[in-house]
Each structure stands twice: as structure tokens, then as C-alpha cells.
A and B are shown apart, each in its own frame.
Chain A
Amino acid sequence: MISVTELYALFMALSLSLMMILIFVTYMFMRKTMFVSIETVTGKAITVLKCPYCSYTIRRVFREGDHVGAVAQEKCPIHDANLIVSEIYTETPSSE
């Protein structure tokens, strides 16, 4: 037979556990909503250069002054023509 003291201790332990669970659940819920942070994600920009006469393409890191349609200093090894900037983008994965 369980003694009265043991029963009282069990009752206390159960109540405390319930309270702890409630406090933990409240904390987890608040953690999701309370600590909203704003982060600016900026990926590295890549410039794609293309030969105007063939499909020769190279990629390099974006430099100041690059824009689509600009004539780059790099040359096509086949045609010896200046490459044209055809795309500028980041490879940061898109959000689904």
C-alpha cells in the first residue's frame, strides 16, 4: 500500500512536471514569434560574358560598371572579338 507522504510527493511531482511542460511549450511557441530577425541575404554576383559571333562563354565575378550589353575587355580566343556581358546573376538558390 502506498503511503500518504509518497502519494503527496507523487502528486507534487506530477503537478510540477505539468507546469514545466506548459512553461516549455509557451517558451517554444514564443521563441518562433518573439525573436523575429531581419537578415539581408546578398549572394555573390556572377557576370556571364559571351562572344557576339559564337557560343564561347566565360563567367567571372561581377565588377563595378558591368551591365548587360556592355563590351568587356576579355576577348574570344576564336574570333578575337571583345566579349559582351550577356547575364548578371547570383547563384543563391531560389526560394521554393
Chain B
Amino acid sequence: MQEVMLALHALMVSLQEATRQTSNYYLYNWLWWLFLIFAFFIFPLVFGDYYQLLRLSGTINRLLSDLGRVLNQSFTSVVNTIENIVRKNNIQNVTRKDIESKIKDLIEYVLIQPTELETQGIVNKLKHIITLYNKELEDAIRRLIPVDKHVIQNIVSSVEALRSLNLIYKIVMHYYRLGMKYRNFYILLQIYMVIPQIKEAVNAISGAINAFIKGQPIGDSAGPLTAFKFLREKCESVEPLSHSVEDTYIARCRYKGRIVYVIKALGPGSSTGRLDDAVTYLIEHCGVKPRAIITVDAALKLEGEKTGTITEGIGVAIGGIGVEKFNIETLATKYRIPIYAVLIKMSMPEALTLMTKDIAEATNKAVERVCKIIEQVAKEGEEVLFIGVGNTIGVAQ
């Protein structure tokens, strides 16, 4: 202890000696202290915001250039796909320039949501607007390339995904420019905080465009794939029903003496169908009295959850804006029909990109769960509705 005290004393004496040295040492010492004080106290206080602004603007600038690159690549692959279709089908008077200008127009096409000032009947208004929007997009692509419906549906979905990418790019650019215009790093911070989510969404959407243009099933196709496997592997005497519901497939089959109505979007084009209209058609027009409505859909997992985990529950498992969910819930409540849900867990990038092996295998387990629910809720001769919810791209019936 005494040695330590002696050493400290020696250090203090040496420091005092240092300040009493020649004027040069004295000057250098103070200059060095001034530099340190400026570097660690004055600079952060006075220029801290500016430094943060530089740092954030650099990051967001880099993000923007990456976004622009992804947007351009995706745009080019969609245009190339359409050009190939034009060449393959020998469609006359359609040049690459025409395709590019049409796609650019469609990317900027807007959907204005109905007013929420008066909420009565808003669901029907929303459904009307969305149906019209989808129809307009399909018609625009059909005018450009009059080919099979499923090809058009795949191109429409690619354009929709491009539109989302473009919107993300424009929003990031808006905040970046606004922040730089007013030299306000808090505006940039709003974008900076959501960069991981933006990155994940952009990865997912650009992957979705790849799957759409090739017509491959995506993670969200898990619901329709479950319906397909149920029809092929578990059902007997499958009988497709003729009906007027657009883009939707309805079949009646027998499973262990129970009558099961299977509803899914009509594949293999990219479509989510009109599942609520199909349920209304069966219950209100055909007089079907189901003992239960079972929905199977892809559900977003939380970080740490395993992809392909199956979860059961009560309620209508349909994502999106909620129009279909609302209509099916209303019908189920009106006729007091129990509603069961089977969820297949996956992340957002997995839901939008090419289906993974884990998800494909999980659909087998989902089929088993659906069979178990049917056996539990309905006796022989009773009816059940089974809806395979999701985008049916790459999955026929």
C-alpha cells in the first residue's frame, strides 16, 4: 500500500514539474488539452446535430441507391418477361417502348380508399373499389398482351409488387430530401429507425416478383396447397361445382361420410379469389348448412418462432384489408356457424417468395389438422366448409 502511495505521490510531483518546465512544454501541453476539450466537449455540443445528419444522410443515401438498383432490376425483369411473351405469341405492334411506358403508367396507378367520415357500408365500398382496381389492371395488361388469363394474372401481380417497391422508394426519397432541405436530422431519423423493416420488405417484394414472373408457388400459397392436397389425398368423389363466382374454385367431396365443400382461388394464376362470395353463394343460394367453416392460411411468425409451425384457433384466418374476413364473419354470425382456423407460420419474406421446403411439408400437417377438426365437429352426412386462403400462384386444383 505504501508503495502505491509513493508511486502516486511521485506521479503528482512529476505532473507539477511538467507544468513548471520550459515555455515550449507548457505551450504544447495546453494546446493538447485545448484540442482534447474541443474534440470531446465543444465539437459534440456545437456540431453534434450536423455530424448526425451527415451520418444518417450517408446511410439513407446508400439505402436509396440500393432501392433504386432493386427497382430497376425488377422493372427490367418484368419488361423482359412481357417482351418474351409478345415474341412467343407473335403479338404484332407491341414494342419494348410500349411495354415500358405501359408498366410505368401502371406503377403510378392509384387506388383511393373510400372516405371514413361515414363508416356505414364502407366494407362494400372498399370491395367495389378493390374489385374495380384489379379488373382495370387486368384489362390494361390484357390489352397489351392478349394471352391466357393465368399469365395475365401473374403479370398483374408482378406489376403490383413493382408498384409497392416504387412506393417505398418514393417515400424514402421524400423523407431524405425533406431532411436535407431543412438540415433536420430528426426527419431522417424516422427513416433510419425503420431501415431493417424496409430492407426486409424490399427483399421480400423483389423475391415475389421473381416468383410471379415464373409462376412458382410462394409461401402464401400454403392455404390453396393444403386445399389441393386435401382434395387429392383425402377426399372421395370430388365434384367441381359450376357457379358465377369469379376466380374461385368450389368443389364438393366426401370425407369419411361427411360432405366437405372446398373453396380456394382458381389457379394456377396469381389470384386470391373471392372467397367471401363463394361462402355466400353456398350458404345463401345453394342452401348449404355447414356445421363449421374451417380456414387455412399463412400467418406471420414472430422472430424466434419456427417456420412451418401449425397453430389452431377460432376465427376467420384471412389477411389483407379485411373485406372478405368481415363478410365471412357476418355470415357465420348470422347463421351461428362455428369458425375454426389453422395457421401455418412463416416470416414475411417467406410468405412472399418461392415456397420453402419447410412450408411445403407443413401443408401435410395442416391437412391432418383439418381432417381432425372435420371428424370432431361434423357427424356422417353433415356438411363442412373448408377454405384454403391465400394466393394460389403455381397451384391448380
Contact = CB atoms under 8 A, between A and B. Distances in A.
Report whether chain A binds chain B.
Answer: yes
A78 interface: no
Contacts of A86: 229, 232
Nearest to A3: B14
Given A4-B25, A68-B217, A68-B225, A89 B210 contact: no
B290 interface: no
Given A33-B59, A69-B397, A90-B354, A38 B268 contact: no
Interface in B172-203: 192, 195, 199, 202-203
A35 B25 CA distance: 44
B380 interface: no
Most interface-central of A4, A15, A40 (chain B CB within 10 A):
A40
A46 B361 CA distance: 13
Interface string A59-94: 000101111111000000000000010111111111
B360 A89 contact: yes
A21 interface: no
B267 A67 contact: yes
A41 B308 contact: no
Interface string B349-366: 110011111111000000
B18 interface: yes
Nearest to B15: A7
Contacts of B350: 94-95
Contact of A40 (B29, B59, B206, B358): B206
Contact of B307 (A1, A12, A52, A95): A95
B70 A40 contact: yes
Interface string B204-239: 001100100011110000000100110010000000
A34 B66 contact: no
B207 A40 contact: yes
Interface residues of B, number: 61
A86 B229 CA distance: 8
Contacts of B347: 94-95
B62 A67 contact: no
B394 A68 contact: yes
Interface of chain A, helix or strand or loop or mixed? loop
A2 interface: yes
Nearest to B201: A38
B355 A90 contact: yes
B135 interface: no
B36 interface: yes
A17 to B, nearest CB: 13
Contacts of B15: 7
B63 interface: yes
B91 interface: no
B70 A68 contact: no
B58 interface: yes
B395 A67 contact: yes
A67 B360 contact: no
A35 B66 CA distance: 10
B32 A89 contact: no
B267 A69 contact: yes
Given A7-B15, A34-B58, A40 B356 contact: no
B159 interface: no
A91 B306 CA distance: 16
B371 interface: no
B177 to A, nearest CB: 19
Contacts of A93: 356
21 contacts: A2-B10, A4-B25, A33-B59, A34-B55, A34-B62, A36-B59, A36-B63, A36-B195, A65-B215, A67-B267, A68-B228, A69-B268, A69-B396, A87-B355, A88-B217, A94-B306, A94-B308, A94-B359, A95-B307, A95-B349, A96-B306
Given A2-B11, A41-B207, A95-B347, 9 more contacts: A34-B62, A36-B199, A38-B206, A43-B356, A45-B216, A67-B268, A90-B355, A94-B356, A95-B307
Interface of B: 10-11, 14-15, 17-18, 21, 25, 28-29, 32, 36, 39, 55, 58-59, 62-63, 66-67, 69-70, 73, 192, 195, 199, 202-203, 206-207, 210, 214-217, 225, 228-229, 232, 267-268, 304, 306-308, 346-347, 349-350, 353-360, 394-397
Interface of A: 1-2, 4, 7-8, 12, 15, 19, 30, 33-43, 45-46, 48, 52, 62, 64-70, 84, 86-96
Q: List the 7 closest A-B pairs by CB distance, nearest first.
A: A69-B396, A94-B307, A67-B268, A89-B360, A68-B395, A38-B66, A40-B206
